[in-house]
Amino acid sequence: MKTVTRVPALWSRVPQELRLPLAVFLSCQACYLLWWAAFYPGLMSVDSVAYTWQVTTDHWRSDHSVLYNALVWLTLNITGDLSALTLLQTIAMSAVLGLTCASLRTLGVRGRWSAPAAVVCAAAPPLGSFVVFVWKDVPFTICAVLVFAVSAQLLGRRLHGTWNGRVHASELLLLCTGLLGVDLFRNNGFPMSVIASLALLLALPGARRLIAGLAASATALTLLLMLVVYPAAGVEQPSKTFIYNLHYADLAVAYAQEPGLFTPADLRLMARVAPLSAWRGAGTNCYVSDVLYYNPSLNRTVADRLSEPLVRLWWRVLRTAPEQIFGARLCRAHIAWAVFPGPRDKSARTWTYGTSIPADLWGFRPIQDSPYRPVLKARPLSQALNHAATFGRSAFRVPQLEWLFWRGATWCYATYALVALLARARRCRPLLALTGVTLGVQLTVLAANPAPCFRYMAAPLFIGVLCISLIPTLRASTR
């Protein structure tokens, strides 16, 4: 009884302004702990295996996030397992969701609406289970939502007329953390941070130099690390075939659809890399670049050596038939703009990934004799929880509702509509800057995307669900 009576007493000591974010943090963390226990030490993909192999064999490569690889290395060396990393991811996301609810309060969103939206983010299988994946895209998404939260806080001050052109130290620290995380946890993340910063820059007079300088510094640091520091530290650069694989996929689509664009010399060049039948076959599927990149007949050594003439060919096709290149890019970026998934026979349904870890680790042979091989195994803390969580994810994969539960584009458009209505209701156009993060992610994926992976558009799903809490505010504004 004493413990029960002490809880209200302890809660009464929490400052009023901290109660909402703390309550959201605790509620979301309780949900995430269930996901974490169900899929202990964490959900994995072949990328998770690659991270582990790279950092435990000194084969560091920058084709994945070096920062996330460093976190994997640190976790393995301190704890000997990956569970601490996924647990920290849940704590970070819970904290960011709590901060977001506090920030939305400055826009007039009451906690009774924002808190349930945040809990949905933690409880719903598509989003809740995502946070316990060993994936660089998880901290990227956390940082993207953090940038959204800080944006809401800054724009809330603008809405209420308390904006004085100054960014508080705490806001600056959080914004800097979010932008750097977005840049460093995904190799193509810096365009998103630039777009989000540009939106804030236009909406916040008096802080434009600061925001521009912050965005420029984050981008410059990212490029410096990728181009100078990582190579100097012995981090292996990705192969040219990896870097230009989307260009090669574009050529394959163009060749399959309009072979007359290619001269005999072009065809001889392409045939040195892979049989023309492989190019043509890959080009019939514009949704996925992996069809060509992982084709056994593709000679990657030759492709690396011939990357310059192949890229020149790509530029020539772009100049002569831009509709072919743009069409291939839009098709492959289907996950970014299309509400409904593509055809199943083209592997164009949303790639959600499963909850089981195969015994052969997706055919990743180099890790088989590693002392860390036992770490890469599902060890749920509760079989009952595991069965329930697996059932939940499977139930939410019903094809008829894929557009709602797994498609980031759906929630991009919902966010744009809700923010536009809020800006109109409050007669405050600067509020449109709330769409900066979502727009940045969508345009970045639209520009260069290899496959219809759910994880690439996870951030807009989180933000879109949180923006549902704007609806009661719209109703109040129209009265």
Query: Which residues touch 96 (CB under 8 Å, ≥6 apart)?
Result: 142, 145, 146, 149
Cβ atoms 121, 97 nearer than 8 A: yes
Give buried/exposed letters for 144-169 (b at 16+ CB in 10 A, else e).
Answer: bbbbbbbbbbbbbbbbeeebeeebee
Q: So what's the pLDDT on residue 368?
A: 86
Q: Given a cut of 80, is residue 7 above it in pLDDT?
A: no
Q: Which residue has the tokens 């009265």?
A: 479
- Give 305-354 pLDDT, tens digit per residue: 999 999 999 999 999 999 999 999 999 999 999 999 999 999 999 999 88
Q: So what's the pLDDT on residue 2?
A: 55
Q: So what's the pLDDT on residue 162?
A: 81
Average pLDDT over residues 243-268: 96
Q: Given a cut of 60, is residue 3 above it in pLDDT?
A: no
Average pLDDT over residues 41-56: 95
Q: So what's the pLDDT on residue 343?
A: 94
CA distance 314 to 308: 10
Q: So what's the pLDDT on residue 5?
A: 60
Q: Given a cut of 70, is residue 394 above it in pLDDT?
A: yes
CA distance 151 to 279: 45
The helix-helix angle for 408-425 and 436-447 (nearest 10°) equals 150
With a pLDDT cut of 90, the percent of the chain lying above it is: 89
- Give 58-103 pLDDT, tens digit per residue: 999 999 999 999 999 999 999 999 999 999 999 999 999 999 999 9
Cβ atoms 366, 58 nearer than 8 A: no
Average pLDDT over residues 274-291: 94
Cβ atoms 340, 403 nearer than 8 A: yes
Q: So what's the pLDDT on residue 17?
A: 84
Q: Is the peptide bond before 450 cis (omega within 30 degrees of 0)?
A: no
- Give 376-391 pLDDT, tens digit per residue: 999 999 999 999 999 9
Query: Which residues touch 224 (CB under 8 Å, ≥6 apart)?
Result: none
Q: So what's the pLDDT on residue 14?
A: 77
The helix-helix angle for 458-467 and 111-123 (nearest 10°) equals 150
Average pLDDT over residues 247-251: 96
Query: Which residues touch 162 (CB under 8 Å, ≥6 apart)?
Result: none
Q: What residues does each domain of the chain span?
A: 16-235+382-477, 240-332
Q: Which two tokens stand for residue 339?
A: 């509400």
Question: Comparing C-alpha atoms, which of 63, 43, 18 is closest to residue 130?
Answer: 43
